[in-house]
Structure 1
């Protein structure tokens, strides 16, 4: 079956013709080992030749079902027609001038789209960068400039990047922080509303966790010293944790009452991934600043900080920027990705993916007690694996074994979680429902074997 899914002319089918990885991938892996730094890992060392819709094709002719989207990047597919068309046209005109030297319309257009799409009807401005970590760093710079304060508050299980400051903001030591310190100062970590593991139960979690976090900020840091509170509205690398209801609005309210800049890190959860343009919309939270990257540009490197105009304008001229920030080809790709999201109503597609996945996974949970929790929204779904449903002891070995079994059958899945025991599913929003169900069949068969 060949579909033009998300603009991809690739046959939308799983095809396993060699062992995975196959001989050509193994040959390339040997070359890679000789020349690529060992600290750069890969989930699955199959070397890609083409990708699009819901599949990835490798050098050996295998076609894998994609439940990763390059870590939530290729939401519109890895070769979406509008992204390719717009980026190709821009590539032929010019690749770079540096927006800080001679500007161009594409950068302005992306900022206009961000002002329209992000939550809140206040006046907004944006600055464009290359990566999620850069966006988070610049959000901190802007918040400090605006408030004239230094402290930054983040949360348990949070992930914000791999630069020195964003490593300090990130909770998990291995592999992100181990051996790389000392880290940036004036960063403080407080509890998050992790319902599945909250001591008094999920129903009490939201208000109790918010009260604990606010108490710690007040006593240990002093609200008057805090420049920014930064949180992922759905925590990504930490395990696709949805903060329990009431938590985000209470933290945002506390920030507002104390002149603190509330930053929503929507790098993984943004751009239709959760069935809304941005995950913070679920509880009506309007952040002061929002950081985006990943899904923004269909696979081209682009990131943004968008926020209240008066906050964004607080940094002095020349204080924000970077040689490649808002590259013209990446901006063109972003406009193509946003066009695709609107035209194909990818928010509705994400909600349908959630309906299919949660239905199938809930049925699996009844058969396989290793599945402790099913959570997430839209096409950002995860299962937490445990050794015992009563004690909830994490089962990272099971997560690793399941991922390996799925990979061998031609299904790309990713793991995550503070305890390494979460399987996360991030299919492209343009994936066909037959491929989605075939991927879930593979997962179910892997559980049965485990």
Structure 2
């Protein structure tokens, strides 16, 4: 048989399983015997998607307002994205990083331009957000040849599950099973400028860097207060420390700007030293990156000090370039801004007493509930055909595709409006 050709008489069991083969219950049973139990039983088994909708193995349709946790920026099966990935895979799928590809180089150039990075800046491409933050941690260790042992991060922050990224992540339940973690990380109260100033007042010359999310996603879509990042920039610059912004969830158009720090009320015009990205960058294809601002920062990780097998591979880079291209071509940044404003206003206007607050930026939105019933409410939403995420006991998070319309979003508004105003609290 000619290499690269598929036999026409290949047995059926050599082909991918049909999407609809088996019910949700059947697939879930198979899941429990084959997949490691790190996520718990799947809520549904999904077989296909289109735009902001997905279908399960039983044929039921759901409005996907979580978007793979802020990943599917163009929705499901976007024709431009699927065509770009298919075309690239049909040309050149993977090469090691001993070689470069035009898509890899072009993606790095696009990220530098979108971030407004100065001359001499460089990009390290990864497969995920946790890998991007892992690279950032290693970069901080290289700062001042490792002579700065302190790394500051914020309470409520989430930066990933690998050991370095986990060391930067605050949640004790995530950290405790894997301690001791890489040392030197200190957690400061979220958004507390006085605590930040105190941390630098005592041993500021020992601080390698400050790692923050401009908009915390896992903690309930919490934005840093106005002026915080500007003060952080002043303090880090004064003490020779680096300012690292984790935009894995909030970046690549999610908030209506390419990066959340580019909003005047969030970033105040700051120029960071490092920005990490992933999630929505590839529109559903795994890709991430670290953007190092300026030659001094970009040279901290030198040859042989870091690497990745799949990072920046031609297919991932093609997916990211296509995603960026569609966002620009279709004016999706403006759409995300306008739709996000309207959707937050409509959710708040339901007047349901269970809704304490609606907050967010662009299409990263939280509905804060007046009781710790988010898990049960999210389960009810799923039964009603809507995918949302209970990211805290009192918070529903949505991060829908940028292509969502007002009409498509309305069922969620109706669902929130119809929530029982005095639900029975969940048992811990």
TM-score normalised according to structure 1 size: 0.84
Label 1:95 to 1:41 Cα distance change in 2 as closer, same or farther (>3 A). farther
Q: Which residue of 2 aligns with 1:213?
A: 196
- Indicate yes or no: 2:366 matched with 1:382: yes
1:187-198 to 2 correspondence within 5 Å? 187-193=185-191
Question: CA shift at 1:378, angstroms?
Answer: 0.3
SS in structure 2 at match of 1:75: coil
Contact 1:399–1:423 (Cα < 8 Å) also in 2: yes
| Partner SS, residue 254 of structure 2 | coil
Contact 2:276 2:289 in 1 (8 A): yes
Q: What is the match of residue 404 of structure 1?
A: 379
Q: How big is each residue's C-alpha offset from its partner over 1:384-405, in whole Å with a ceiling of 9 and x where there is no partner?
A: 2234xxxxxxx2xx11121111
CA drift of 1:55 comes to 0.6
Deviations 1:386-427 (A, max 9, x none): 34xxxxxxx2xx11121111010000000113xx32111111
Cα distance, 1:442 vs structure 2: 1.9
Tell me how far 1:45 sits from its aligned partner. Answer: 2.2
Partner secondary structure for residue 252 of structure 1? helix
Contact 1:71 1:426 in 2 (8 A): yes
Give 2:355's aligned residue. Answer: 371
Q: Which residue of 1 is the match for residue 325 of structure 2?
A: 339
In the aligned structure 1, how far is the partner of 2:137 from the partner of 2:175? 19
Contact 1:273–1:378 (Cα < 8 Å) also in 2: yes
For residue 439 of structure 1, report the CA deviation from its aligned partner: 2.0
Query: Which residue of the other structure, out of 183, 186, 191, is the alignment partner of 1:185?
Result: 183
Deviations 1:184-231 (A, max 9, x none): 1011111112xxxxxxxxxxxxxxx21222203432xx1111111110
Displacement of 1:121 in angstroms is 4.1
Q: Is the 8 A contact 1:119 1:281 kept in 2?
A: no
| Aligned residue number for residue 160 of structure 1 | 159
Query: Within 2, Cα distance between the matches of 1:312 and 1:380?
Result: 30
Cα distance in 2 for partners of 1:384, 1:439 equals: 14
The separation in 2 between residues aligned to 1:85 and 1:91, in whole angstroms, is 10
Task: Report the equivalent of 2:6.
Answer: none
* Aligned residues between the structures: 396
SS in structure 1 of the partner of residue 216 of structure 2? coil
Q: Give the whole-Å Cα distance in 2 for the aligned partners of 1:51 and 1:286.
A: 38
Match of 2:101 among 104, 120, 123: 104
How far 1:235 moved relative to its partner? 0.5
Mapping of 1:298-313 within 5 angstroms?
298-310=283-295, 311-313=297-299
CA distance in 2, matches of 1:272, 1:128: 18
Q: What is the aligned partner in structure 1 of residue 282 from structure 2?
A: 297
- 5 Å-filtered alignment, 1:18-97, equals 24-41=23-40, 45-97=43-95
Shift of 1:383: 1.9
Q: Deviation of residue 446 (structure 1)?
A: 2.9
Report deviation, 1:177.
2.4
Calculate the aligned-residue CA RMSD, in Å: 1.8
Residue 225 (structure 1) aligns with:
206
Residues in 1 aligned to 2:204 and 2:50: alpha-carbon distance in whole angstroms: 47
Distance 2:379 2:356 in 1: 20
* 8 A Cα contact 1:144 1:228, kept in partner: no
What is the DSSP-based 3-state SS (H/G/I as helix, E as strand, rest coil) of the residue aligned with 1:322? Answer: coil
How far is the alpha carbon of 1:137 from its aligned partner? 1.1
Distance 1:446 1:45, change over 3 A: same
Is the CA contact (8 Å cut-off) linking 2:352 and 2:419 kept in structure 1? no
- The Cα offsets for residues 319-355 of structure 1, whole Å up to 9 and x where unpaired, read as 1221111121111100110011101111111112212
TM-superposed CA distance for 1:356, in Å, is 2.0
Aligned 8 A contact 1:406 1:446 in 2: no
2:14 is matched with which residue?
A: none
Task: Say if 1:406 and 1:443, in contact at 8 Å, map to a contact too.
Answer: no
Matches within 5 A, 1:182-331: 182-193=180-191, 209-219=192-202, 222-282=203-263, 283-310=268-295, 311-331=297-317
Task: Identify unmatched segments of 5+ residues in structure 1.
Answer: 1-22, 194-208, 388-394
Give the match for residue 423 of structure 1: 396
